[in-house]
Structure 1
Amino acid sequence: MHRNSVHNMILNESDSDDELEIVAVLKMEEESRSRRGSMQRRLFIRRNTLEGHQRLFLDYFAESPTYPPNVFRRRFRMNRSLFFRIHSTLKAHEPYFVQKRNGARVLGLSSYQKMTAALRMLAYGVAADFMDEYWLQFFTDEYLRSPNENDIVRLLTIGQSRGFPGMLGSIDCMHWKWKNCPTAWKGMYSGHINEPTIILEAVASYDLWIWHAFFGLPGSHNDINVLERSSVFTKLAEGRTPSVNYSINGNDYTMGYYLADGIYPQWSTFVKTIPSPQGNKRKHFATAQESARKDVERAFGVLQARFAIVRGPARSWERETLKNIMKACIILHNMIVEDERDVNEAEDYDYEQIDENPHVSVSHDHTTELMEFIRRHHRIRDRETHSQLQSDLVEHLWQLHSQS
């Protein structure tokens, strides 16, 4: 009140511009002080991280935890043994997962809390920033790779038991909606569903293991466009894959194949169904092919069921971040498949005693001759071999059906 009276007195008794300027400065300072006084201080929440770690440990990780194993698996998407294996690897190689003290010398989050947060980001679909990169760094070479010699033998054995000698899996594409796609890119990334999407091309086997993952092309592409840019047959064309030799209906073949739907081209490495089949043989083949081809679609469904972050629309603005998230989920998916493979397999296949197992050998030397590369490239796309292979499989499946 006193300050206001001083201001009024100066205004009434002075005609000087300097004095008017002084009054203006005084008013500005007073308003600034009043604003600072009315502002609330930032609320500080004292989070007891040690108590949170203790509750988490007793609930899930103690020798006699509060929650049983089935609850652990439902909430963490994996068994405790696999969780501990990943935990020990990350803690040993990544400093982020080591518990540290902050500037006030207070202990921060424990490694269990950090890994739990990372898994729940992927499993429940909340925002993920950096967590996905750690999975890629340590587990890509083992859990996102092409089949080795032993894998090939196992896949061929299972394929033969299902009536498809030479089958290595099934191939298909999945679209992931991109909610935060930049406006300038929406036309390029919008396809048949009229929303921006990013495509994942994958090869999956009977046990839902994903052997090949090619992610990142815009949703305006179809499966053939994705295939032309994919690396799924790169090693095969370069001669750096295990050789596969098998016979069907008296004809010899030297390359494995994937089951595919109708849009894929008529290559020797694909076996497609027969549209509108006529006759019992062709109808039986179409039913068997469409049934076995569901492996890759089942893999997509299980992947999205386990990790809600790839089931709902992608929220990140960066394509590289989305690639890391997708790869991290696939790696974790394969780790869970491996951990539970013995439990989930309905049949016990004796790989050592099956006489029809092909001899598998692999060359680790890079192909230097251009003509040899072109020859392999043409063999992959051979339409005649595709037609012959399909006809032989029709007869082979019908013979098995007749004998059963």
Structure 2
Amino acid sequence: MMYSRPSSSSSSSSSNTEEYDQLVDELFTYQPPTFLMPQTLSQPTTKTPRGGTNRRDREMGHARLFNDYFSDNPVYNTTQFRRRFRMQRPLFLRIMNKVVEGDVYFQQRRDAAGRLGLSPLQKCTVVIRMLAYGMAADAVDEYVRISQSTARVALQRFCAEVIDQFGTEYMRNPTTDELARILHQNELRGFPVFDEVLHGRAPPVNFTVNGHEYNMAYYLADDIYLKWATFVQGITYPQLQKDKMSADHQADARKDVERAFGVLQARFAIIRKPSLAYDEDILRDIMKACIIMHNMIVEDEWPQLHSS
């Protein structure tokens, strides 16, 4: 039924107003009640929290994780733990306890409804998986029961806390004993000491490169380094046999550094895969945290490797 307001050209304004009011009264009188208040006949609905967190059983995720790796009789043995966490269980627990001690974000607390939040094991485990495998933030959601946004925040705060807690010890200059061991290994392999070269205390040597006479040891480098006398760039396009041999030997020696960085990449795949963050500060923290934990792993496993 269509309703239209009558024209005022043939009647007074008062009569038009009365007729219009009558039509409005008829409209609201003869319409069914659902037209006015449809919500009175529908069942009340419960608003689902953003992200469906009411269906994510955090307690079950913690229990499964604890039984798999951290109970007295875990499902997976120490070898499997070492492969998936990139470190031994005592070292992981040491790092986690320090992180929890330094940042309340990793402490397990109750929400407004009285439910327990995510445990430190869940947050630290998802961070280690992201660092070790370079996976997306929600890749272990169905196992650890942690959302994508929470995993990203945990990654940033975990790396920052590792730097704060362990950076002073594991990103410091080498001690006298450590430096002596490194220098001894380099001496056996024939590598010069850069610090000695800078202070003019390197063993006297004489050689010629590109027609220039040198009486100090040198370092093999590529074109990205400064044009210092101690840096000798390789031959880009060797033509003669002696040039090819020199370039091959230099490339072999330079690959030692690349292999050392390759060990770090093999341990933490997030370094060699496309970035999961766009902020330079976060990327810097991720790199520093990986280096620190790498040094901690080497220190933890060094006696075992040295004895074998």
TM-score class normalised by the smaller sequence: 0.5 to 0.7
Please tell me the residue identity of whatever aligns with 2:164. Answer: Q
Q: Is 1:55 aligned with 2:64?
A: yes
Does the aligned pair in 1 maintain the 2:5–2:20 contact within 8 Å?
Answer: no
1:289 aligned to which of 242, 250, 271: 250
Please list, as runs of the form range in 1=range in 2, the aligned pairs for 1:193-208 lying within 5 A after superposition.
none
SS of structure 2 residue aligned to 1:132: helix
Deviation at 1:161, TM superposition (A): 0.7
Q: Is 1:327 aligned with 2:288?
A: yes
Whole-angstrom CA distance in 2 between matches of 1:120 and 1:70: 16
Find the counterpart in structure 1 of residue 86 from structure 2.
Answer: 77
SS of structure 2 residue aligned to 1:293: helix
Q: Is 1:141 aligned with 2:151?
A: no
Does the aligned pair in 1 maintain the 2:110–2:116 contact within 8 Å?
Answer: yes
Please tell me the residue identity of whatever aligns with 1:302. Answer: V
Find the counterpart in structure 1 of residue 145 from structure 2.
Answer: none
Deviation at 1:284, TM superposition (A): 6.3
Please tell me the residue identity of whatever aligns with 2:20. Answer: S
Please list, as runs of the form range in 1=range in 2, the aligned pairs for 1:24-63 lying within 5 A after superposition.
30=36, 33=39, 41-42=47-48, 45-63=54-72
Please list, as runs of the form range in 1=range in 2, the aligned pairs for 1:223-234 lying within 5 A after superposition.
none
Deviation at 1:86, TM superposition (A): 0.8
Whole-angstrom CA distance in 2 between matches of 1:341 and 1:22: 91
- Which has the larger Rg? 2
Find the counterpart in structure 1 of residue 273 from structure 2.
Answer: 312
Find the counterpart in structure 2 of residue 367 from structure 1.
Answer: none
Please list, as runs of the form range in 1=range in 2, the aligned pairs for 1:345-384 lying within 5 A after superposition.
none
Please list, as runs of the form range in 1=range in 2, the aligned pairs for 1:172-321 lying within 5 A after superposition.
245-249=201-205, 259-274=220-235, 276=238, 286-321=247-282
Deviations 1:312-345 (A, max 9, x none): 2224343322222232223223323333344556
Please list, as runs of the form range in 1=range in 2, the aligned pairs for 1:392-403 lying within 5 A after superposition.
none
Deviation at 1:88, TM superposition (A): 2.4
Percentage of pairs with the same residue:
40
Find the counterpart in structure 1 of residue 159 from structure 2.
Answer: 132
Q: TM-score, normalised to structure 2's length? A: 0.66
Whole-angstrom CA distance in 2 between matches of 1:288 and 1:15: 104
SS of structure 1 residue aligned to 2:54: coil
Whole-angstrom CA distance in 2 between matches of 1:261 and 1:306: 26
Please tell me the residue identity of whatever aligns with 1:77. Answer: R
Find the counterpart in structure 1 of residue 11 from structure 2.
Answer: none
Whole-angstrom CA distance in 2 between matches of 1:136 and 1:108: 25
Q: Is 1:66 aligned with 2:22?
A: no
Deviation at 1:94, TM superposition (A): 2.3
Please tell me the residue identity of whatever aligns with 1:142. Answer: E
Q: 1:23 to 1:313 in 2, by over 3 A?
A: farther
Does the aligned pair in 2 maintain the 1:159–1:165 contact within 8 Å?
Answer: yes
Whole-angstrom CA distance in 1 between matches of 2:305 and 2:256: 14
Q: 1:19 to 1:92 in 2, by over 3 A?
A: same
Higher RCO (CA 8 Å, separation ≥ 6 residues): 1
Whole-angstrom CA distance in 2 between matches of 1:22 and 1:133: 70
Listed as ranges, the gaps of 5+ residues in structure 2 are: 7-17, 138-151, 207-213
Listed as ranges, the gaps of 5+ residues in structure 1 are: 1-6, 169-235, 237-242, 349-404
Deviation at 1:150, TM superposition (A): 3.6
Whole-angstrom CA distance in 1 between matches of 2:166 and 2:121: 19
Whole-angstrom CA distance in 1 between matches of 2:221 and 2:173: 18
Whole-angstrom CA distance in 2 between matches of 1:69 and 1:284: 46
Please tell me the residue identity of whatever aligns with 2:126. Answer: A
Whole-angstrom CA distance in 1 between matches of 2:166 and 2:230: 29
Find the counterpart in structure 2 of residue 208 from structure 1.
Answer: none
Find the counterpart in structure 2 of residue 157 from structure 1.
Answer: 184
Deviation at 1:248, TM superposition (A): 4.4
Whole-angstrom CA distance in 1 between matches of 2:101 and 2:263: 30
Whole-angstrom CA distance in 2 between matches of 1:63 and 1:114: 21
Whole-angstrom CA distance in 2 between matches of 1:23 and 1:122: 67
Deviation at 1:287, TM superposition (A): 4.3
Does the aligned pair in 1 maintain the 2:102–2:161 contact within 8 Å?
Answer: no
Whole-angstrom CA distance in 2 between matches of 1:263 and 1:44: 50
